[in-house]
Amino acid sequence: MAKEKIVFFCKECGYESSKWLGKCPACNNWNSFIEEKVKINAGKGTSTKYKVGEATVKKLNDIQNIEKNRLDTGYEELNRVLGGGLVDGSLVLLGGEPGIGKSTLVLQICNNLAKHGTLLYVSGEESDTQIKMRADRLKVNSENLLFLGETNINEIEAQIEKINPKFCIIDSIQTMYDEEISSASGNISQVREVTARLMNIAKSKNISMIVIGHVTKDGNIAGPRLLEHMVDVVLYIEGERFLSHRIVRGVKNRFGSTNEIGIFEMKEEGLVEVNNMSEIFLNRDESSLPGTVTTAILEGNSTLAIEVQALTTHSYYNMPRRVANGVDFNRLSMIIAVIEKMCGINLGTQDIYINVIGGLKITETSADIAIAFAIISSYKGIPISKDSVFLGEIALNGQIRNVVNIEKRLKELEKIGYKKIYAPKKQIDNLKDTYNMKMVKLNDIQSIVEKFLSSK
């Protein structure tokens, strides 16, 4: 006999309560509880009780450290993000916006994974004909690739028991449901229970699973944040939907580092790896233009040379506009304030627009000086040489602070062919003549701006 009850779940961490709470006691988030009706069947499948005392306690020193086997996905960029390849028995969660290329990427790697054993592709969103049409376009063809159109987790588990595949793809987790829970598929309770079932299958049968998940308007994977804690690896595909480049970023990895990204380009034949990442964010063939400055940022263990563009124009509003694409808005406001205070440049009547080429988002402070000089260059109408790169963090007093891993950035910039580097004075003094580039020492923004303007 099924019993129905109303419970409240925290959409951030999955905490369950019998009544609504304003603040979650587990994650301390406010207004995060949502109401759901849950029906639990008290049938044979749920009446079995666990016998106390059956768990086995082991000494840590007696446990053998068995190295997990890693399998090649066929893409070096993805292998690097995963930490060297897909680990046996791992559960990987791949998230991204609709239309960003999640299903395309997964279907492409299916062709390579199927070489190592049987692969079961479970789709709750597309029919077998739709999957076949995409597979033909991507030239995916393998006798070991099986398809199942199903959303019931019980039926999926039964088929896995029958086929015993080496790999399994779930597309997507929000469409799967457990019939013992009355709420609709995609709700917190369904996502949590289905993920727990899949994790149990992956670990008990040593099946490598890739689960596709949709993201919310906030950019997080739909469902409770507990979902990300349950899985072994969490990957996000980032990029503008109508631009060609995609970034695969690891935000959690139990088998490797999360300081890695993989860059792909969406083409007619699918996602293609990009080997020289800096090329896609630079337009060095163009002549020097006001408001365009080059800087170098770290994305994982890779150094990217990118262009920061600024446009200043007279404002016809009482409150001038400040638009930041790819840059933190609060950081931009701080940089503008320092320019006005320390350099005596009045930007209070200017609309200011900042854009980072290629859809990247700068999260570190090493690009502060590049943003500042892009604004000043646009305001004064003075172009900056495309062979110059600006590195440095701006303090509130105008001082230029050191940059993390500057040696790594300079090696990549020298390889690309840059001739002139603007960097913090203390770090330049320590490097001396290590690099075959002209080094300009930055002590404070006031002096370098005066020198820059007087030389033009």
Say whether domain 2-47 belongs to CATH 1.20.1250. Answer: no
d(CA 145, CA 162): 15
Of the two residues 417 and 424, the one the predictor is more confident about is 424
Spell out the CATH class of 68-275.
alpha beta
d(CA 359, CA 141): 33
Per-chain mean pLDDT for the chain: 85
- Edge-to-edge, what's the strand order for the sheet holding 245-253? 145-149, 119-123, 167-171, 208-214, 91-96, 233-238, 245-253, 261-267, 270-273
Per-residue model confidence as pLDDT tens digits over 59-118: 888 887 777 788 899 898 899 899 889 999 999 999 988 888 899 999 999 988 999 999
Task: Answer whether residue 394 shows pLDDT above 90.
Answer: yes
Task: Answer whether residue 244 shows pLDDT above 50.
Answer: yes
Angle between helix 329-343 and 445-454 (nearest 10): 70
Flag the least confident range among 35-44, 218-227, 388-397, 415-424.
35-44
- 14, 98, 226, 448 from 188: Cα distances, Å: 7, 20, 10, 55
Which of 162, 198, 268, 173 minimizes the C-alpha distance to 146?
A: 162
Residue 46 CB neighbours (<10 A): 10
Give the three-class secondary structure for 449. Answer: helix
Per-residue model confidence as pLDDT tens digits over 278-300: 666 666 556 678 999 999 998 77
| Domain ranges (residues) in the chain | 2-47, 68-275, 280-454
Percent composition of the chain: helix, strand, coil (DSSP 3-state, to 5): 30, 30, 40
Say whether domain 280-454 belongs to CATH 3.20.20.70. Answer: no
**With contact defined as beta carbons under 8 Å apart, do 307 and 281 qualify?**
yes
- For residue 224, the model assigns a pLDDT of 60
Task: Answer whether residue 315 shows pLDDT above 60.
Answer: yes
**With contact defined as beta carbons under 8 Å apart, do 105 and 264 qualify?**
yes
Beta strands in 165-300, from DSSP E residues, in sequence order = 167-171, 208-214, 233-238, 245-253, 261-267, 270-273, 292-299
Angle subtended at Cα 185 by Cα 183 and Cα 187, rounded to the nearest 5 degrees: 65
Per-residue model confidence as pLDDT tens digits over 411-420: 888 888 888 8
